[in-house]
Copies of this chain bind each other. A is one copy, B any other.
């Protein structure tokens, strides 16, 4: 019962097969492999963006930090939420890659609100040289709390950014889960809204470690290439990144995997809702569930073999009725029997 993360499970056989397919003969390195040509074209087709510049890197942190560094200057600030991965989980990588640019945290609920974004932009960048200058807006879809912005919500945020002439970065580590949840196309969830750079994540959705960074305006493409190399993120044997992403794009595997993950979460959610005393705090439309439950319930679940992160207090020490928050993440490979086992444990806890 492994609900700890969507980076904990195996990759589908198709990924291994494409790696084996790629492992034939000699090829030029550093992105000049034939599979990258396929990937580039597939992503352009998928995003309906024939001019897009497409790059692969191996980690989400690299994808975000490099994309932001390409968009902003070191005397700028990037607007994001306090829970954003770039703020919480990247050990200052964005600041490092951006040369010391700042993140300005937008207070408010999990999903950035138009009011919060506007207030935050207004409060920064009006101090002239005392700076920082306004740099970019970074939106995470699916959010770190498992919520999915509607297309209308995204449109409003992008419109605000554009009204200040700020570029928009989309952290799409769970891009596929969101697109499937919204039933929209990649184009509808990116450049058509005004997104300038999207991270089309693969790692959390069944790949070993590949994220595509998609620049809808290729003007900054060469700069990105130099920054990627300078960050040590250009693979000499690039074909093994290409192969993973090629597998992901062929036959809509990315969509298939995300659908599986999302529906497993929905299934799990159905089970959890059976208990009235457990409060699910996010909208479960993608692949994550955050639920508040008494410490004793968490203890029973984990003693029974469920693995997931708990926050809000110590799991082992404290009153049995103290409320703690558990995070359940479903990946494509999670066996339904494990979900059933979890729900069964929960209903008897």
Contact = CB atoms under 8 A, between A and B. Distances in A.
A232 interface: yes
A270 to B, nearest CB: 22
Given A58-B58, A95-B95, A74 B230 contact: yes
Given A9-B26, A237-B209, A75 B92 contact: yes
A75 to B, nearest CB: 4
A132 B225 CA distance: 12
Task: Give the size range of A's interface with the partner.
Answer: 35 or more
A310 interface: no
A61 B226 CA distance: 13
Contact of A132 (B59, B92, B223, B232): B92
Contacts of A108: none
Contact of A232 (B25, B62, B208, B235): B62
Contacts of A130: 88-91, 229
A127 B74 contact: no
Contacts of A28: 4, 8
Contacts of A101: 92, 95
A234 interface: yes
A121 to B, nearest CB: 15
Interface string A1-33: 010110111110000100110011111111000
Number of copies: 4
A232 to B, nearest CB: 3
A164 interface: no
A2 B92 CA distance: 41
Interface string A282-298: 00000000000000000
A259 interface: no
Interface string A204-247: 10001100000000000001011111111111110010000000
Contact of A223 (B4, B25, B57, B73): B73
A88 B129 contact: no
A99 interface: yes
Nearest to A101: B92
Interface in A100-148: 100-103, 105, 127, 129-133
A203 interface: yes
A126 B235 CA distance: 20
Given A30-B129, A93-B230, A95-B100, A237 B223 contact: no
Given A8-B27, A8-B29, A62-B233, 14 more contacts: A5-B236, A16-B23, A30-B129, A59-B235, A73-B226, A75-B92, A75-B229, A90-B131, A91-B132, A92-B131, A95-B95, A98-B100, A129-B225, A129-B229
Interface of A: 2, 4-5, 7-11, 16, 19-20, 23-30, 57-63, 65-66, 73-77, 88-93, 95-103, 105, 127, 129-133, 203-204, 208-209, 223, 225-237, 240, 307
- Pick the 6 closest A-B CB pairs, nearest first: A91-B131, A62-B232, A2-B26, A7-B236, A95-B100, A61-B232
19 contacts: A2-B25, A8-B26, A8-B27, A10-B25, A11-B237, A16-B16, A58-B209, A59-B236, A74-B92, A75-B92, A75-B223, A75-B229, A90-B232, A91-B131, A91-B226, A91-B229, A95-B95, A102-B103, A105-B105
